[in-house]
């Protein structure tokens, strides 16, 4: 049973006087990692010294048998810090730490998709200069699993007034979105914008452009912030690509991509070459572009077909869209519209670099 609104309010008041206690000699690091079911987990470590570089954050471990990441008889999984951010919950000199997961055998955990992607970027990033900007769509749900603000035993009026909506009845829970935006800025996440989406209760924020592997680190941390903030508001977040069947928009993770070559004068040539490479590996990409993406990619609601690769200028019904302004300038970036909202940004950016630059052995 969820707590009553009154109890939540009382708890917040009761906690406040402890949260104000001065603790000048203690700092915290919240270690965050991706579990065995595309979710996030975290646990807290006390440090005696302020963090001023990654080296101040030691390797740690957790019980992988409790997160579907390891068997019970060999359950230790190791956490290796890869990036840290100012902590908007505890503030001060406390930090949030993004981690990779590693096995006792010295191999990356089965769900450590960052490792392979980072190897690709290590090889090519200096030369290629990949930038990624991702548009994270998601849906807020009430405790009962029905979209936030929807009538309890029915549906809201059809889509139309909700996208970038303003006014009572058109947007729900804007406070959550504002809190998350500010928390991302405080944490130095490169959040670049936000908007209400086409389906009521659905929202989007954008992260990027970020170079190479940074995008995955920052996007995962932005999801952590969203999950934590939603807890406080008693609302649930789902990244399901098609939360409500029927004439309601699904949720995606549009992936905007550029390189030194696409951004340079005459970059359209490099973009066109990229389209040929993406077309040749459409199936492989769809395999890592999120679970249940078939239910979203119906060819309707601003999506392309699941099975066929297409691209076009300003076309929101194609797999990849070249923004009109880029086509006019003859350079810039392209938007891969295929990834689902629950896609893993490490796998998505990883397969894009692999497809455009070739597979790296090892
Ligand atoms: P849309 O019109 O598809 O809704 P948005 O404004 O939501 O577009 O998102 C555009 C995204 O493109 C942002 O995440 C931004 O960071 C990203 N972006 C802009 N320029 C580049 C670039 N040169 N390379 C990669 N990503 C870019
Ligand atoms: Mn224990
Ligand atoms: Mn967008
Ligand atoms: Mn959108
Ligand atoms: Mn888009």
| pLDDT digits 0-9 by tens, 72-127 | 888 899 999 999 999 999 999 999 999 999 999 999 999 999 999 999 999 999 99
Q: Which ligand is nearest to the CA of 208?
A: 1
Strand 95-102 to 191-196 pairing: unpaired
Q: Which atom of ligand 1 is nearest to the CA of 256?
A: 26
Per residue in 17-40, pLDDT tens?
Answer: 999 999 999 999 999 999 999 999
Per residue in 146-158, pLDDT tens?
Answer: 999 999 989 999 9
Calculate the average pLDDT of the chain: 96
What spacing in Å lies between the alpha carbon of 318 and ligand 4's midpoint? 14
**Residue 32, pLDDT score:** 98
**Residue 302, pLDDT score:** 86
- How far, in whole angstroms, is CA 346 from its chain's centroid? 10
**Residue 361, pLDDT score:** 66
ipTM over 0.85: yes
What spacing in Å lies between the alpha carbon of 265 and ligand 4's midpoint? 28
What spacing in Å lies between the alpha carbon of 272 and ligand 1's midpoint? 18
Q: Whose CA is nearest to atom 14 of ligand 1?
A: 133
Per residue in 216-268, pLDDT tens?
Answer: 999 999 999 999 999 999 999 999 999 999 999 999 999 999 999 999 999 99
Q: Which atom of ligand 1 is nearest to the CA of 254?
A: 3
Residue 362 has pLDDT above 70, yes or no: no
pTM of whole model > 0.90? Answer: yes
Distances (CA, A) of 154 to 111, 146, 149, 150, 247: 39, 10, 11, 7, 14
Mean pLDDT value of segment 49-74: 93
- Hey, which of 138, 204, 205, 206 would you mutate to test ligand 1's pocket, going by the most ligand atoms within 8 Å of its Cβ? 206
As a whole-number percent, the residues of the chain with pLDDT over 70 amount to: 99
Per residue in 292-309, pLDDT tens?
Answer: 999 999 988 889 999 999
Based on its alpha-carbon atoms, the radius of gyration of the chain, rounded to whole angstroms, reads 21
CA nearest to 243, candidates 148, 104, 121: 148
User: Residue 360 — pLDDT band, cuts 50, 70, 90?
Assistant: confident
Residue 276 has pLDDT above 70, yes or no: yes
The H or E element containing residue 82 is: strand 76-86
**Residue 3, pLDDT score:** 82
What spacing in Å lies between the alpha carbon of 40 and ligand 4's midpoint? 23
As a whole-number percent, the residues of the chain with pLDDT over 90 amount to: 92
Per residue in 170-191, pLDDT tens?
Answer: 998 999 999 999 999 999 999 9
Q: Whose CA is nearest to atom 1 of ligand 1?
A: 135
The neighbouring-strand residues paired with 204 are 137, 195
CA nearest to 189, candidates 233, 115, 136: 136
């Amino acid at each position: 049973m969820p707590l009553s609104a009154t109890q939540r309010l009382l708890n917040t008041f009761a906690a406040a006087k402890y949260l104000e206690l001065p603790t000048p000699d203690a700092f915290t690091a919240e270690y965050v990692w991706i579990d065995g079911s595309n979710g996030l987990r975290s646990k807290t470590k006390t440090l005696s010294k302020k963090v001023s570089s990654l080296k101040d954050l030691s390797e740690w471990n957790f019980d992988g048998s409790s997160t579907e990441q390891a068997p019970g008889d060999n359950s230790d999984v190791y956490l290796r810090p890869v990036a840290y951010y100012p902590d908007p919950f505890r503030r001060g000199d406390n930090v949030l730490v993004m981690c990779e997961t590693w096995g006792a055998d010295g191999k990356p955990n089965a769900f450590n998709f960052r490792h392979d992607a980072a190897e690709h970027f290590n090889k090519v990033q200096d030369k290629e200069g990949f930038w990624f900007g991702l548009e994270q769509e998601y849906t807020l749900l009430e405790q009962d699993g029905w979209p936030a603000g929807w009538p309890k035993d029915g549906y809201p009026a059809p889509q139309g007034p909700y996208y970038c909506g303003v006014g009572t009845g058109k947007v729900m829970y804007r406070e959550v979105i504002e809190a998350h935006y500010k928390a991302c800025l405080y944490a130095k996440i490169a959040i670049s914008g936000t908007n209400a989406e086409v389906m009521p209760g659905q929202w989007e924020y954008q992260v990027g452009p970020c170079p190479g592997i940074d995008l995955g680190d920052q996007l995962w941390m932005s999801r952590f912030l969203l999950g934590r903030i939603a807890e406080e508001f008693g609302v649930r977040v789902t990244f399901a690509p098609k939360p409500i069947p029927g004439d309601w928009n699904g949720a995606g993770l549009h992936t905007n991509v550029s390189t030194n070559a696409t951004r340079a004068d005459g970059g359209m040539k490099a973009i066109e070459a990229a389209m040929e490479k993406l077309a040749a590996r459409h199936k492989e990409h769809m395999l890592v572009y999120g679970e249940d993406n078939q239910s979203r990619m119906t060819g309707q609601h601003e999506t392309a077909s699941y099975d066929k690769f297409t691209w076009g200028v300003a076309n929101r019904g194609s797999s990849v869209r070249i923004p009109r302004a880029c086509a006019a300038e003859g350079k810039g970036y392209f938007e891969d519209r295929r990834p689902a909202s629950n896609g893993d940004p490490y796998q998505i950016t990883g397969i894009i670099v692999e497809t455009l630059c070739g597979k790296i052995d090892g």
